[in-house]
Structure 1
Amino acid sequence: MRLPLIVLAVLAAGAGAYWLLARGPAVQMAVAQTGNAAQVVYATGVVEPLQWAKVTALQRKRIIDICKCEGRRVKKGEVVARLDDAEERAVLSELEARLERLRADAERTKTLVERNAMSRISFEEKLTEVREFEARVAAQKDRINDLELKSPVDGIVLRRDGEVGEVAGTGVNDVLLWVGQPTPLRVVAEINEEDIGKVAEGQKALLRDDGFDDGVLEAKVQSLTPKGDPKTKTFRAYLALPSDTPLMIGMSIEANIIVREASGVTLVPADAIDDGKIQVVEDGRAIHRAVDIGIRGSRMVEIRSGLDAGEEVLSPWRGDLKDGARIRLAPAAQQ
């Protein structure tokens, strides 16, 4: 009896396999939905005040004094830092002493000219030397004045990056103090050159920062720079922030700029589409159907025509299935 039982088991297994094959492979399915679609352009940026300025050194010198004034209001022209000027003052003293001697010499020459004891040309030469050293003294005073770093604008000291004893650099990034108005704020964002043509003033932007997980942070495209950076292949966009934004100066931001929107449209998962076609489930078969695609999102895609909401489609697209192939439906994917 054991042999007939084995034969029956083999026959049953074969029948089951044939039944499964006849039904086709198992696939995942999604239902076309009605919803809203948005096409966005991704950008990254930094929060900055609308009005601000940097305090930097014009000469590479050691810092001898810098205000401890972060958060304090300062006036335009107020001295906020001083650099070592000992060498420059020593030179100034020598120039001023030489100028005094030249002036005294010129006065003596003038007296001799008036007495006809010396030519007028000699007096003019002395005056030329006096004027030359007056200019040199004035230039040296300007050098000393440049070592007193003043606030370029009225505002609040937003940040201090220098300390007494450090050597102040003269590079673009060698900023000692940042002065500006804490409001209004904006996001200075960088946009890839292939996307900049889609962005326009007035478009809404949705912002993300790791420090603010709750709620949606919004901004609006305020302006775009007309010239891009050929090295980074990006353009700069300025996004205006509302007055009540919780974002703070210096925060790094990710932005999704909404360039197109559509409401009440048919949506399917993005992975259900392949080269303008979808696989619609009809009577247990996968039917290839061409569709007109609208807005493409990261997860969902708008279908303008060729598919109605409520129809079932394969998600993801199955490249191994021919048009009209039989299929077995696995549990529907939740979209």
Structure 2
Amino acid sequence: MADHDLSRLKIDRQAAAAGVRLRPRRRWLRYAAIAVVLLALAGIAIRLASPRPVQTATVTSAFPTQNFTLLNATGYVVPQRKAAVASKAQGRLEWLGVLEGSRVKKDEVIARLESKDVAASFAQAQAQVQVAQANLALQQAELKDAEVNLRRSRILIVPNAISRTQYDADVARFDKARASVNSSRASVVSAQANARAAEVAVEQTVVRAPFDGVVLVKHANVGDNITPFSAAADTKGAIVTIADMETLEVEADVAESNIARIRVDQPCELLLDALPGLRLAGQVSRIVPTVDRSKATVLVKVRFVDRDARVLPDMSAKIAFLSRAATAQDRQPVVAVQPAAIATRDGRQVVYVVRDGKAHEMTVKTGNKLGELVAVQGVKPGDVVVLSPGDQIGDGSRVATSKP
């Protein structure tokens, strides 16, 4: 009995060694599980803290006329009255009184050519007129004397106081004197015509503005040889190019498939690329009745109803052909965004404006639809907003922007 009790006091070294081996393994498993949980939590935290990629759009200004625009086209500003001014005379340019941008009035002298040779010819022609007039006076005196002799001969021939031969000689002298007077009168008319031609030649050396306008291009300088009807070397044809700024129109090529949507006197809105903040009212002036077969287009000309002194020839312009005339309110810009940028939060319409890498919630009030945009109040043009924010985006969320 005592031996049996003593056997219980014996240490089982194999079981003790196995217990030692099991305890560290369980401890490491517990540590690994905790590490996995911590890593998962850290990943979630990093994901929540990292910027969320979003697509953005820019708040812009739009015009209500977009709602009743039938067709858009592009074209250029063109003056309908434009002239390359030159002189019919040939010679060296002696004086030029205008520069690019100079405003001129009709018949204003803008240039002169050397005129000494034609002026001398004019003086000679005037002298020939005086010679012809002197000859006429002489022939008229001769006619008067012949008429007196003939009257005397008619009295004396009745009583046979003079011979018939003498009478016939007096008649012939009178007829000759009368013919000489007629010839001298014709010579005077011819000399006067020559003088007028010489005067015109002198006048042609003076270049005048054909109409009220503005000088667009200066082709020649003082000292250049002007030969409008020749292509000789180192010569100029035109002196300046003048345009009437009151006749500015916009010319645009419209596809023939869309020409049925355009009519004469149709209201338009004109937007110039050089003046982006300016919108001018226009009206279809005429439709050129021919088709450009190479481009399948028809030329349409639109006149300005509203004018602006800053509009210049050859400016590029966009034309919006409208279904009705635009009112003053229609021509006022409104703030607009893409509909996808508007979200609903707690019954409110909001947009998320991106600033410094974060989305800031802004409450907005929507208005009418403007084409593909929606009018809003609460943001300003130039703000960058998140498109399709969804439930993941909130006020203060970090975002990484990219445009669609």
Q: TM-score range by the shorter chain?
A: 0.5 to 0.7
Aligned to 1:188: 250
- Higher mean C-alpha deviation, range 191-200 or range 87-96: 191-200
2:102 counterpart of 1:44: no
CA distance in 2, matches of 1:158, 1:223: 24
Which of 99, 119, 129 is equivalent to 1:99?
129
Identity of aligned residues (%): 19
Aligned to 1:119: 177
SS of the residue corresponding to residue 224 of structure 1 reads: strand
Q: Is the 8 A contact 1:46 1:252 kept in 2?
A: yes
Q: Per-residue displacement from partner, 1:49-88 (whole Å, max 9, x unpaired)?
A: x887664433444322110355555443321111233332
Q: Is the 8 A contact 1:70 1:159 kept in 2?
A: yes
Q: Is the 8 A contact 1:159 1:179 kept in 2?
A: no
Q: Per-residue displacement from partner, 1:114-147 (whole Å, max 9, x unpaired)?
A: 2216521122112111111111211221232132
Give the residue type in structure 1 aligned to 2:77.
V
2:93 counterpart of 1:63: yes
- Give matches, 1:147-296, under 5 Å: 147-154=205-212, 157=215, 160-168=218-226, 170=228, 174=238, 176-178=240-242, 180=244, 186-192=248-254, 194=256, 195-200=258-263, 201-209=265-273, 211-212=274-275, 214-215=276-277, 217-225=279-287, 227-228=289-290, 234-240=298-304, 242-244=306-308, 247-258=310-321
Residue 207 (structure 1) shift? 3.0
Q: 1:218 to 1:174 in 2, by over 3 A?
A: same
Which of 131, 140, 144 is equivalent to 1:110?
140
CA distance in 2, matches of 1:60, 1:230: 39
Q: Is the 8 A contact 1:61 1:83 kept in 2?
A: yes
Q: Is the 8 A contact 2:215 2:240 kept in 1?
A: no
**Greater Rg by CA:** 2
CA distance in 1, matches of 2:305, 2:239: 25
SS of the residue corresponding to residue 104 of structure 1 reads: helix
CA distance in 2, matches of 1:218, 1:93: 56
Q: Is the 8 A contact 1:52 1:179 kept in 2?
A: yes
Give the residue type in structure 1 aligned to 2:251.
A
Unmatched 5+ residue regions in structure 2? 1-65, 147-172, 230-236, 325-370, 373-402
2:156 counterpart of 1:131: no
Unmatched 5+ residue regions in structure 1? 1-34, 262-298, 301-333
SS of the residue corresponding to residue 106 of structure 2 reads: coil
- Give matches, 1:306-317, under 5 Å: none
Q: Is the 8 A contact 2:68 2:322 kept in 1?
A: no
For normalisation by structure 1, the TM-score amounts to 0.53
Q: 1:177 to 1:234 in 2, by over 3 A?
A: same
CA distance in 2, matches of 1:234, 1:56: 33
Aligned to 1:4: none
Greater per-residue strand proportion? 1
Q: Per-residue displacement from partner, 1:23-54 (whole Å, max 9, x unpaired)?
A: xxxxxxxxxxxx96854242422254x88766
- Give matches, 1:138-149, under 5 Å: 138-149=196-207
Give the residue type in structure 2 aligned to 1:174.
A
CA distance in 2, matches of 1:37, 1:141: 61
CA distance in 1, matches of 2:100, 2:74: 30
Q: Per-residue displacement from partner, 1:221-250 (whole Å, max 9, x unpaired)?
A: 2411554487986434033163457x4312
Give the residue type in structure 1 aligned to 2:303.
L
Kindly report the root-mean-square deviation, in angstroms, between the aligned alpha carbons of the 2 structures: 4.0
Residue 154 (structure 1) shift? 4.7
Q: 1:230 to 1:90 in 2, by over 3 A?
A: farther
Name which structure has the greater RCO, CA cutoff 8 Å, separation 6+: 1
Give the residue type in structure 1 aligned to 2:73.
Y
Q: Is the 8 A contact 1:55 1:177 kept in 2?
A: yes
Give the residue type in structure 1 aligned to 2:250.
V
SS of the residue corresponding to residue 152 of structure 1 reads: coil
